[in-house]
Chains A and B, each alone.
Chain A
């Protein structure tokens, strides 16, 4: 009976130890596997930022173009009003 109890205690201790080992190994493995994912996420964030930056610059350039076209129309109107046509 005593030997059986001792054996059971020993088995329980080993199972507990193995459980702790597995839990620690799991956490470490997950942390290691997440590293390349974190790197890719940072890369994606940076690329989205680049994309937004390009979009902002394109929008600014298009707006500047629209402003010049508007100015050109105004000048054409002014020319027509003044009867001159010497800008070409």
Chain B
């Protein structure tokens, strides 16, 4: 492959661009690119660090927010539980009062029946005794008839 040629701006003669002639130029260009690359890398590293810090801050803020929300939800839960409990008790109170009244009425009825049952059982006992006497009398009459 032929060497690249450069043209002299003064005499317009063509000069071959040999490796020894291009070396300082290449070195300077390489150094310039390496410098730029190093600066870019430093810049990226700085931005990366900044992003990491921002992410950590966001994470802290999110944790704090989650804790705040959890605490507020717990407060709200307690308030709702109290509210619903009072509501349910209020709704049940009328029905409970009706049942308590029904129980009181039933107690009166049971006491009345107890008294009536005692009277009836006493009368029954007396009549059983009387029945025995009647049976004895019946047997006496039957014997009289047979005689």
Contacts and interface: CB of A to CB of B under 8 A. Distances in A.
Interface residues of B, number: 44
A3 B49 CA distance: 25
A57 B107 CA distance: 18
Given A54-B117, A58-B116, A82-B144, A36 B92 contact: yes
Interface of B: 69, 73, 76-77, 80-81, 83-85, 87-89, 91-92, 95-96, 99-100, 102-103, 106-107, 109-110, 113-114, 116-117, 120-121, 123-124, 127-128, 130-131, 133-134, 137-138, 140-141, 144-145
Interface of A: 14, 17-18, 21-22, 25-26, 28-30, 32-34, 36-37, 40-41, 43-44, 47-48, 50-51, 54-55, 57-58, 61-62, 64-65, 68-69, 71-72, 75, 78-79, 82, 84, 86-87
